[in-house]
C-alpha cells in the first residue's frame, strides 16, 4: 500500500474563492509539498441550484493567482474538447467505460473525473448499494411536511431531526409510489450511537448519539448530496488527509457513519480553526474584503496573502512572521495547527503586504504595479522600463498595496500638481522665494550648460549652490526645495527624484510653483 499523502481541496463553485477557502488550499498544498504527496482539486458541484461553471472558473483563477498548482483536477478545457457542458438536467456525463472510480489514466488525473457532476453514475452505484443492503430508504415526505416537522421541533426547543416516518414503508409500497410518479429522496439510516473522532488538530472529538437523524443522500430526482459524494470520492481518490475548516465538523460525523457502513478506512481529519473578524465573530463580508479576488483587485500580492493566511491557525516553530514559501513548506505540519480561533487582522495583512512590496525583486513588483498605474491613467506601459523601475523603487517603501502606486507615482507623472495643504504653508514662509529662486537659477544653468540629464552628484552640487545662495540649511533649505519640485512635504529623497525627472521638468515645476499663487 502506498503511504503517499493525498490531500484535496474540494470547493463548491458558488462564488469567488473566500479567504477561508484560500487558507484551506494553502494548508493542503503545503502539506502535500511538505510530505512529497499529491494535491488534488475536486469540484463539488452537485448542488445544481448554486453551482456554476463561472464560479468554478473564478475559483480556479484565484487558486492559480495565489500560485498553487494541483497534481490532479479538472483541466481547463481546450476548445472543441469532448467534455459536455452542464446545462439544466443534462449535466450527467457518465464515465462510461471507467471502472467505478478505479484509478486509470484519464484526462485530469488517474482518478478522473474530478468534477462531481461528471461522477453521477459512480454515486448511483453506491447509493444503490446502500438501498439494497437496507442502509438507506426512500423518503416520500414533502418539503412542506418536513418544514412543519422542523418548525414543531423548534417550538419544543429540540434540534430538528428527521423522525423516521418513511423507514416503515415497505419496498413494495415504495415501488408502487415511485411507479405512480412520486419522486422520493433517499435517506441514510443514521446509526444511533456515539462517534469518536481522533482529529489531528482538535484531539478527541465526541459526537453524542442522536446528534444527527436519518440524512438525505440523494435528492428527489436522484442528485446526490455533498456528504455522500464527499465520502465516496475521498475513498475512491485515496485521500489520506482531510484538512478543512472547523465548520465541517457536523458533516464529519455523517461522513464517519458512511465510512463505517461501507467498511472504508477513515482518512486523517484535521479541522482547522475558525477565522474570526476583529470583533471575534465569524469572518464575513461585514468585516471587509473576504474574497481572494477582492484582495487581488486591491493590490495585495499573493505572496503576502499566503504568508498572512499561513499564520491563521498555524505558526512556524520559530514564530517567524515573514516566511518564504520554501520555509513554510519545510516547516508545515499538522502538529503546529492550532485549534484556537484566529483573528483576521487587516492591518497586519497590509503591513505584511508592504513588506513584500519592498522585498520582492524590483522588476517583478514593478511589472505587477503597471496595471494599477494604467488603470489610474498613468501610461506606465509606454515609459522606459528601466526608468519606471528606478522611479517605482523610490516609492515602493511607502506602499502598503499596489493600489497606492498611482498616487505615490504622481510625484513623477504629474508636473501640474496642486500643492498639498502643508506645502502651501511652506510656500508662504518667508524663506521660500529665496530657496526656490536659487533652485530655479541652478536648474536653468544646468540645463544651459549640460542639458536635461542630471546625475545624483550633479544635483547634490546644485543643492550646495542653493544653500550658499539662499543662506539656508537643514529643513529651511530642503522643505522649500521639496515643495517647489513636488508640491509635497514628504516623499522619496530629492537626490533620487530629480535625476529621474531631469533638469527640464524640474525647472518647469519650480517656475510654475514660483509663478502661481494658486498652485
Ligand atoms: N464542498 C465543500 C465546501 O466547499 C467541501 C468541504 C470538504 O472539504 O469536505 O465547503
343: β partners: 276
Q: Would you say the C-alpha torsion 396, 397, 398, 403 has a positive or negative sign?
A: positive
Distance (Å) from CA 28 to ligand 1 centroid: 13
Choose which residue among 6, 8, 10, 73 to substitute to test ligand 1 binding: the one with the highest number of ligand atoms within 8 A of its C-beta.
10
CA atoms of 295 and 144, how far apart (whole Å)? 42
Looking up cell 499561513 gives: 310
CATH topology of domain 415-519: Arc Repressor Mutant, subunit A (1.10.10)
Distance (Å) from CA 13 to ligand 1 centroid: 10
Looking up cell 502651501 gives: 424
State the closest ligand 1 atom to the C-alpha of 44, by its place in the atom list counted from 1: 1
Closest to 205 measured CA to CA, from 243, 252, 264, 165: 252
Element holding 186 (H helix, E strand): strand 185-188
Q: What is the 3-state secondary structure (H, E, C) of 207-243?
A: ECCCCCCCEEEECCCCCECHHHHHHHHHHHCCCCEEE
43: β partners: 115
Q: How does DSSP assign 316-367, residue by residue?
A: -TT--SS--HHHHHHH--GGGB--S-EE--HHHHHHHHHHHHHHS-HHHHHH
State the closest ligand 1 atom to the C-alpha of 11, by its place in the atom list counted from 1: 4
Distance (Å) from CA 148 to ligand 1 centroid: 29
Pocket of ligand 1 (CB under 6 A): 10-12, 44, 226, 230, 244, 248
State the closest ligand 1 atom to the C-alpha of 10, by its place in the atom list counted from 1: 5
Q: What is the pLDDT of residue 288?
A: 84
User: Alpha helix (H) ranges present in 66-197?
Assistant: 120-132, 143-155, 171-179
pTM of the model: 0.90
243: β partners: 270
Distance (Å) from CA 35 to ligand 1 centroid: 22
State the closest ligand 1 atom to the C-alpha of 8, by its place in the atom list counted from 1: 8
Distance (Å) from CA 10 to ligand 1 centroid: 5
Hey, what's the cell of 220?
428527489
Choose which residue among 11, 50, 241, 254 to substitute to test ligand 1 binding: the one with the highest number of ligand atoms within 8 A of its C-beta.
11
Q: What is the pLDDT of residue 519?
A: 66
> Phi, psi at residue 283, to the nearest 5°?
-55, 125
- Cβ atoms 119, 90 nearer than 8 A: no
Query: pLDDT tens for residues 80-130?
Result: 444 333 333 333 333 433 445 556 656 789 999 999 999 999 999 999 999
> Phi, psi at residue 136, to the nearest 5°?
-145, 160
Which is catalytic among the residues 64, 285, 450, 473? 285
Query: Which of 148-153's residues contact partners 24+ apart within 8 Å by CB, and which partners?
Result: none
Q: What is the CATH number of domain 361-413?
A: 1.10.8
Hey, what's the cell of 121?
453514475
| Domain residue spans of the chain | 75-113+119-272, 285-359, 361-413, 415-519
State the closest ligand 1 atom to the C-alpha of 21, by its place in the atom list counted from 1: 4
Distance (Å) from CA 50 to ligand 1 centroid: 14
Conformation bin of residue 451: beta by default, left when phi > 0, alpha when psi is -120 to 50: left
Question: 285-359: which CATH number, 3.40.50.150, 1.10.1160.10, 3.30.750.210, 3.40.50.300?
Answer: 1.10.1160.10
Choose which residue among 7, 226, 233, 234 to substitute to test ligand 1 binding: the one with the highest number of ligand atoms within 8 A of its C-beta.
226
How many angstroms separate the Cα of 325 from the Cα of each of 66, 302, 333, 353, 475? Answer: 12, 11, 14, 15, 43
How many angstroms separate the Cα of 201 from the Cα of each of 18, 25, 238, 239, 247? Answer: 22, 17, 21, 18, 13
Q: For this structure, is 285 an active site residue?
A: yes
- What is the mean pLDDT of each successive set of 10 residues along the chain, which is 519 residues long? 88 96 98 98 96 96 96 64 37 39 71 96 98 98 94 89 95 96 98 98 96 96 97 98 97 98 98 94 88 97 98 96 97 96 97 98 98 97 98 98 97 95 96 97 98 98 98 97 97 97 98 83
- Cβ atoms 501, 490 nearer than 8 A: no
Q: Exposed/middle/buried for 404, CB within 10 Å: 0-12, 13-18, 19+?
A: buried
Which residue, by CA, sits nearest to atom 7 of ligand 1?
A: 10
How many angstroms separate the Cα of 301 from the Cα of each of 28, 370, 410? Answer: 20, 13, 22
Closest to 393 measured CA to CA, from 375, 405, 378: 405
- Cβ atoms 269, 279 nearer than 8 A: no
Is omega for the bond preceding 113 within 30 degrees of 0, making it cis? yes
Q: What is the pLDDT of residue 243?
A: 98
If DSSP codes are grouped into helix, strand and coil, which group holds residue 483? helix
Element holding 271 (H helix, E strand): strand 268-272
Q: Do domains 75-113+119-272 and 285-359 have the same CATH topology?
A: no
How many angstroms separate the Cα of 420 from the Cα of each of 111, 285, 497? Answer: 62, 35, 18
Q: What is the pLDDT of residue 483?
A: 98
Looking up cell 498548482 gives: 69
Q: What is the CATH number of domain 75-113+119-272?
A: 3.40.50.620
Query: pLDDT tens for residues 231-271?
Result: 999 999 999 999 999 999 999 999 999 999 999 999 999 99
Amino acid at each position: 500500500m502506498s503511504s503517499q499523502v493525498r490531500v484535496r481541496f474540494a470547493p463548491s463553485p458558488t462564488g469567488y474563492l473566500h479567504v477561508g477557502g484560500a487558507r484551506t488550499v494553502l494548508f493542503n498544498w503545503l502539506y502535500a509539498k511538505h510530505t512529497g504527496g499529491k494535491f488534488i482539486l475536486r469540484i463539488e458541484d452537485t448542488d445544481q441550484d448554486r453551482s456554476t461553471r463561472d464560479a468554478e472558473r473564478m475559483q480556479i483563477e484565484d487558486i492559480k493567482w495565489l500560485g498553487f498548482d494541483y497534481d490532479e483536477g479538472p483541466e481547463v478545457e481546450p476548445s472543441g474538447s469532448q467534455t459536455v457542458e452542464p446545462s439544466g438536467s443534462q449535466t450527467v456525463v457518465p464515465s462510461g467505460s471507467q471502472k467505478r472510480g478505479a484509478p486509470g489514466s484519464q484526462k485530469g488525473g488517474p482518478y478522473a473525473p474530478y468534477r462531481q457532476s461528471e461522477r453521477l453514475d459512480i454515486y448511483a452505484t453506491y447509493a444503490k448499494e446502500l438501498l439494497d443492503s437496507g442502509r438507506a430508504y426512500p423518503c416520500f415526505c414533502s418539503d412542506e411536511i418536513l418544514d412543519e416537522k422542523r418548525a414543531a421541533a423548534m417550538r419544543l426547543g429540540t434540534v430538528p431531526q428527521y423522525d423516521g416516518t418513511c423507514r416503515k414503508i415497505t419496498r413494495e409500497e415504495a415501488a408502487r409510489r415511485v411507479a405512480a410518479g412520486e419522486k422520493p429522496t433517499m435517506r441514510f439510516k443514521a446509526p444511533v450511537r456515539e462517534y469518536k473522532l481522533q482529529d489531528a488538530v482538535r484531539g478527541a472529538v465526541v459526537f453524542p448519539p442522536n446528534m444527527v437523524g436519518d440524512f438525505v443522500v440523494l435528492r428527489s430526482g436522484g442528485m446526490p448530496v455533498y456528504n455522500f459524494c464527499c465520502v465516496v470520492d475521498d475513498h475512491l481518490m485515496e485521500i489520506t488527509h482531510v484538512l478543512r475548516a472547523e465548520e465541517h465538523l457536523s458533516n464529519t460525523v455523517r461522513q464517519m457513519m458512511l465510512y463505517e457502513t461501507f467498511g472504508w478506512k477513515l482518512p486523517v481529519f484535521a479541522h482547522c480553526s475558525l477565522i474570526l473578524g476583529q470583533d471575534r465573530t465569524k469572518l464575513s463580508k461585514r468585516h471587509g474584503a473576504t474574497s481572494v479576488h477582492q484582495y487581488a483587485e486591491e493590490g495585495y500580492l499573493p505572496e503576502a496573502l499566503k504568508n498572512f493566511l499561513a499564520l491563521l491557525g498555524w505558526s512556524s516553530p520559530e514564530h517567524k512572521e515573514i516566511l518564504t514559501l520554501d520555509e513554510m513548506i519545510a516547516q508545515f505540519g499538522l502538529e503546529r495547527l492550532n485549534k484556537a480561533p484566529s483573528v483576521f487582522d487587516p492591518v497586519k495583512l497590509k503591513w505584511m503586504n508592504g513588506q513584500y512590496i519592498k522585498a520582492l525583486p524590483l522588476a517583478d513588483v514593478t511589472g505587477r504595479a503597471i496595471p494599477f498605474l494604467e488603470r489610474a491613467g498613468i501610461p506606465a506601459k509606454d515609459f522606459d522600463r528601466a526608468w519606471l523601475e528606478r522611479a517605482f523603487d523610490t516609492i515602493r517603501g511607502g506602499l502598503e498595496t499596489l493600489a497606492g502606486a498611482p498616487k505615490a507615482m504622481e510625484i513623477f507623472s504629474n508636473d501640474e500638481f496642486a500643492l498639498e495643504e502643508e506645502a502651501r504653508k511652506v510656500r508662504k514662509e518667508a524663506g521660500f522665494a529665496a530657496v526656490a529662486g536659487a533652485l530655479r537659477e541652478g536648474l536653468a544653468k544646468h540645463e544651459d550648460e549640460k542639458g536635461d540629464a542630471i546625475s545624483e552628484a550633479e544635483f547634490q552640487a546644485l543643492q550646495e549652490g542653493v544653500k550658499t545662495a539662499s543662506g539656508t540649511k537643514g529643513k529651511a533649505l530642503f522643505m522649500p526645495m521639496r515643495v517647489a519640485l513636488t508640491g509635497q512635504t514628504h516623499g522619496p529623497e530629492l537626490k533620487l527624484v530629480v535625476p529621474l525627472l531631469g533638469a527640464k521638468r524640474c525647472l518647469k515645476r519650480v517656475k510654475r510653483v514660483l509663478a502661481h499663487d494658486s498652485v
